[in-house]
Structure 1
Amino acid sequence: MSLKTVSRWFVLGLSVAALSACARENPLEVTIDHCPAVAVMGDMGTFTRIKGDSDLAKDIEYTATLSRVDTECSQEEQVATKVSFDISVLAGPANKDRSVTVDYFVLTLKDNYSLISKKTYSVTLTFDRSGRASKRQTIDHLVPTIDQAREYDYEILLALNLTPNEVMRNIKR
């Protein structure tokens, strides 16, 4: 065999080895995940509290926001989900307090429409010198059996706890 032929076989062998290494991760492999979907409800993840019925910037007490949602989920005999998120508040010109209490709730839905649970929480945030405050919150969710998780689609929704008028104001803005 000539040196040229040996070189070609060597290059071919390296190419096959490289391609076989890529084949270990099948891009078409389907992974079934039974962890619940987690989201912030559309018009209820940010809210600006305004003094009275005014729409003037000088009457803003604070703006609260749910953000940075992270989930950890383990699927064994049970499906355990840990949801972490930030509640951030920015003080407005009408705010004279050093702190504010923000209410939020967590919904668990089954198959996107059946309400399984609703839990309401409160968190008190103290403003720093720049008028900002933020706290990381964590909630735990458990689907008791993996069979339930296989049978139904679960969803966890986070939202600020608003009155009907506050929801309408949020939708209109």
Structure 2
Amino acid sequence: MTADHDRPARGRDETPEERADRLWNEMLQEVRVCQTGAQILFGFLLATAFTPRFATLPDFDKHLYVATVLLGAFATGTLIAPVAFHRFMSGHGMKPELIHVAGRLIGLGLVLLALTISAALLLLLRTATDSSPAAWVLSGAALAWFCVCWLVLPRSVLRRHAHRRDRDR
């Protein structure tokens, strides 16, 4: 699959530099939404260990909590990484490379965020339902939903678009 910045911009009259600037600005708008959600979730996760109920959790749930916090830290760090890349690469004429790397980081950050949300949901539902098997089913369903909305649906739309474009040629 070709990266978005490698494809010609159909219907746009812009220089490669203008295209890179536009793509970078669009990417920043997208990542701001993800960053905010990841940071808020991570903050709530950090506070959870200081609640009275936390000490009464079974060992499995405490381990699940640690894994969830680590996933949240990795998701937050990965979604913030494009900003650090931009700081280091700014002024070196490397915006297309920056866009490529940032796109990969955002994709990885979304995967980590989906795993964080699903693990947090599992922990919450296990606590709320006294470790009910339903917690696993519902958390798995949430993760499957993220996969459908964030991966399967966009790829399906891209395939349909490519099929239509190939048919019209």
TM bucket (normalised to shorter chain) is: under 0.3
Q: Which structure features the higher share of strand residues?
A: 1
Q: Which structure features the higher share of helix residues?
A: 2
Tell me the TM-score normalised to structure 1 length: 0.26
Tell me the TM-score normalised to structure 2 length: 0.26
Structure number with bigger Rg? 1
Higher relative CO (Cα under 8 Å, sequence separation at least 6) belongs to 1
